[in-house]
Amino acid sequence: MQQITRSIYLVDKGEVVTLEIQAIKVGNFASFVVDGKSIDPISSTPLTFQFTVALSQGQAHHGMITCFFPKTAPDDAEFDVFVSGSGGGGKFTGSDILKSDASWTRAIEFRRPH
């Protein structure tokens, strides 16, 4: 896996992508969806999701993270996202979502290069 930006990653076919969402000062109120399908977490400590890349060259998996902050959460509460792939490359810091953001939704895409 290679990181292009916080929201764009290059992946290989068959690679297993792991996405962790670390909730800070707030509960695990986050979900992850890829290509219209909800992904069930494999762990809640931290909230962890996995899926396998099934793309032809030039295509992309379209993911989206949806979060929620209760009004009672402190202003500096946030969700931090970390991304890694079974093909190596390391663990990357992805998007982070702050309570002060206007949107608590973030797109994330996994491209298979041409």
Partner 1 sequence: MSRTSSRPWNWVVVNRLVLAALLTAVSVPSRAQDSPANDPVCGAGQEHPNPSTLQDWAFCAAHDLVNHKIIKKEDPDIGQFLDQLTILAIAGGLKPDLVEQKFDLVNAQQETARTDKQLGASARAQGSTTLAEKPGIQDLLGLAIEEGAIQKEVNGTTLTLSTSPYALTAIRNGDTASNYLKHGDDLGRVGISATFNIANQEDVLSNATRKQLAEWAVRIRLSGDHSPRSKGFQKFWDNEVKKKLEQEAIAITAAAASTFQDVAAEKRREEVGDLLSAQIKTLFDQQKEQLTSNPRQVILAVRDQILSTCKTEISDNIDSFHLDAVTKHRIMSVTMPALLDAHVQATQGLKELNERIQALQALGTATFEYANVRDTTSGTYSNLKFLYQKGSSDTMKIVFNAGASFYSNPNHDLNQQTTRDFATALSWEGLAGRSPLALDANDQSQVTFSFSGRYQRLLENRHVAGKKADIASAQGKLELPILTGASLALSITYANADELASKDHVRFNFGINYDTGKLYQLLQLNKKKAELAQ
Contact mark string toward partner 1, 11..50, x via CB under 8 A: -----------xxxxxxxx-x-xxxxxx-----xxxx---
Whole-angstrom distance, CA of residue 59 vs CA of residue 84 = 19
Single out the residue of 8, 12, 18, 92 in contact with partner 1 (rule: CB under 8 A): 8
**Kind of pairing between the strands at 8-10 and 105-111:** parallel
Whole-angstrom distance, CA of residue 46 vs CA of residue 18 = 12
CB of 53 to partner 1, least distance (A): 13
Single out the residue of 18, 64, 86, 92 in contact with partner 1 (rule: CB under 8 A): 64
104 counts as binding partner 1 under rule CB under 8 A: yes
- In the complex with partner 1, which residue's Cβ is closer, 24 or 90? 24
Whole-angstrom distance, CA of residue 36 vs CA of residue 62 = 8
What kind and span of H or E run contains 60?
Answer: strand 60-67
CB of 110 to partner 1, least distance (A): 11
Single out the residue of 62, 88, 90, 91 in contact with partner 1 (rule: CB under 8 A): 62
Whole-angstrom distance, CA of residue 50 vs CA of residue 21 = 12
Contact indicator for 61, 50 with CB cutoff of 8 Å: no
Please report, as ranges, the residues that interact with partner 1 according to CB under 8 A.
5-8, 22-29, 31, 33-38, 44-47, 56-76, 95-96, 98, 100-109, 111, 114
